[in-house]
Amino acid sequence: MNPRHGVVRSIGVICALAFLLQMAGCVAEWPISKVVYTTAEQQVLPFAIASGTPPIKPSEVPRYVELGYSAWHASPGTDYGTDPKNPVPYDKRTELAPAYAGAPNAARLLSFFAITDIHITDKESPAQPLYSGWSAPFAAPRLLVTCYSPVILSTTQVLDAAIQTVNALHKRSPFDFGISLGDNINNTQYNELRWFIDVLDGKAITPSSGVHDGADTIDYQRPYKAAGLDRTIPWYQVLGNHDQYLAGGAQENAKTQATHVGDTIINMANDPSPTGLNGSGFYMGVVDGATPYGDVIGAGPEEDFPTPPKVVADENRHSLVTETSTSLNWMGEFFHTDSKPVGHGFTQANLDKDFACYSFEPQSDLPLKVIVLDDTAKGPGQPDYGGGALDQARLDWLTGELQQGQDDGKLMIIAAHIPVKPAKGLTDDTPAHTFRDEKSEDSLLATLHAYPNLILWIAGHRHLNTVTAQPYDPSMAAQGPENSFWEVETASLRDFPQQFRTFDIRRNSDNTISIFVTDVDPAVTEGSPAAKARDYAIGAARLFGATPENNADTSSQAYNAELVKQLTPAMQAVIATCGTPLE
């Protein structure tokens, strides 16, 4: 059978299912709450876990609520001041602008939003390594949450809630564009990426695969109509490691390719690493969509199964990765869209060269360009497919873009999936560096500091809200404070704190610039799949990597700041009349 014909037939089955359920009045919509807040206005705060609370396993989902692991409450927004009667919602950071003397914001230059690490997951796929996380004990290593968390039941609905929240904020203050910073999908699958794009396009979503168990009885399985991103907002795309590698860290091979579209649950070692993938001994399981808490079935030691556990095969689960490319088919799907721009930043040239880097200028009357950089590991035999890497071709392209932007007198933003030598995060197990080694990061930073018009590096990947000042090297005689830039990481829409971020860039009256970065909790409606996913995300964060200190932490993990950046005299003159004046 031609694989493409199988895909078409499977699409037909899904479309027929959605159509029949729609005709029967069963296609849902999941509207969000009418009032929308940023975390500068209102935050989601977890309750501390009470002393003596019994420890439970991540798989004991009904007990998350029972024992308070998923409990949270709404609280006033972030406050970095000292007077509770006069809250200061933004932490003002001026260390990269020593000449700044408190000049007020004069004009808005650019406004955009970023989502990242959505990890749209086909929870019924036989190729997901669920067992490694689902079988984990209380306080298992935090990394295992990437294998299993009950948030996987509702990843498309969480994205839909986030997009509805973006639309509501856009009505308050328009965005010039949006960008996804990678890891749209969890496991390289075609159906996962189609769900992502179709949610942003506002299409009918059938959030299940295979036999589609529970489609007429279970909320997270019900076909629904996504709201779609406001058509006046163009959106762009960055490539992440999960978009290309199985569970984000292993190359697809003949075993995994066959498993994606087969009827037998993957058998591997109980270890989500590339070594474990090629081993055996444990079936990884799938979610039973007919159960309200998404019970994992077909999982456990090989000896527990007289015959290998089976699922209904589905060609729509096929991997987008081929023997020759991890990115070409993935990029190609962004040309099958109803929202703008077609390709979402990628062009025919990107496809022709199989090269996932590009740049764009969001406003014709603003001297600013966004450089979209693919900084993921490439090629067989890499030591770490979850680490950042730049080969010579991508480094040469990046320096060419930076030099052109500098020569043309344009401010520049780099948008990448993986940050470069970020500050330590909010958890003790955050890596000290994110590229393969510290030496490569230092070399890249030295290159970046040569371009004073670079104002910002934005990234996802670590699932954290961290802001890092990247100051210039005082030992370089040709450099000054204007050669510094800010690095801003945005948390994941999958794991707590389950937030996206907005960026508001303003010109100050002294022609420095201020970058306001704001975290946003997606608005939800009580009882919806997205609301339940928030509970699950908080619960999972309490169980994986649990310590007395972590479980006493009641912070929102949001970080909102005004980041001031000094510009060269030449760039100050260029932007002196730019932007929409602030009242």
Q: 3-state SS of 217-258?
A: CCHHHCCEECCCCCCCCCEEECCCCCCCCECCCECCCHHHHH
What length is written for the chain? 583
Angle at 546 between CA 541 and CA 551, to 5 degrees: 75
Q: Are 138 and 57 in contact (CB under 8 A)?
A: yes
What's residue 477's pLDDT?
Answer: 82
Per-residue exposure over 218-236, b if at least 16 CB sit within 10 Å of its own CB, e if not: bbbbbbbbbbbbbeebbbb
Which tokens is 488 given? 């801003």
CA distance linking residue 150 with residue 65, whole number of Å = 13
CA distance linking residue 102 with residue 86, whole number of Å = 19
Instruction: Give the pLDDT band (50/70/90) at residue 434.
Output: confident
As beta bridge partners, residue 422 has: none
Q: What are the backbone angles phi and psi of residue 358, rounded to the nearest 5°?
A: -160, 175
pLDDT digits (tens, 9 = 90+) for 1-40: 333 333 333 444 444 454 444 434 568 999 999 999 999 9
Q: Give the SS3 label for residue 85.
A: coil
Angle at 124 between CA 122 and CA 127, to 5 degrees: 80
CA distance linking residue 468 with residue 580, whole number of Å = 28
CATH topology of domain 3-581: Purple Acid Phosphatase; chain A, domain 2 (3.60.21)
Please report which helix (H) or strand (E) contains residue 542, including its range.
Answer: helix 529-543
Q: At residue 357, does pLDDT exceed 60?
A: yes
Which tokens is 528 given? 């919806």
Sorted by where each begins, the domain ranges of the chain are 3-581
CA distance linking residue 359 with residue 399, whole number of Å = 12
CA distance linking residue 519 with residue 64, whole number of Å = 25
**What is the pLDDT averaged over residues 65-82?**
97
Give the number of C-alpha atoms closer than 13 A to the C-alpha of residue 367, restricted to the C-beta side: 20
pLDDT digits (tens, 9 = 90+) for 490-541: 999 999 999 999 999 999 999 999 999 999 999 999 999 999 999 999 999 9
Instruction: Give the pLDDT band (50/70/90) at residue 380.
Output: confident
Instruction: Give the pLDDT band (50/70/90) at residue 240.
Output: very high
What's residue 583's pLDDT?
Answer: 77
User: From the CB of residue 173, how many other CB atoms can be counted at a distance below 10 Å?
Assistant: 10
**CA–CA distance from 548 to each of 55, 72, 474, 563 (Å)?**
11, 18, 42, 33
Dmax (CA) of the chain: 75
467-470 and 485-489 strand pairing: antiparallel
pTM: 0.94
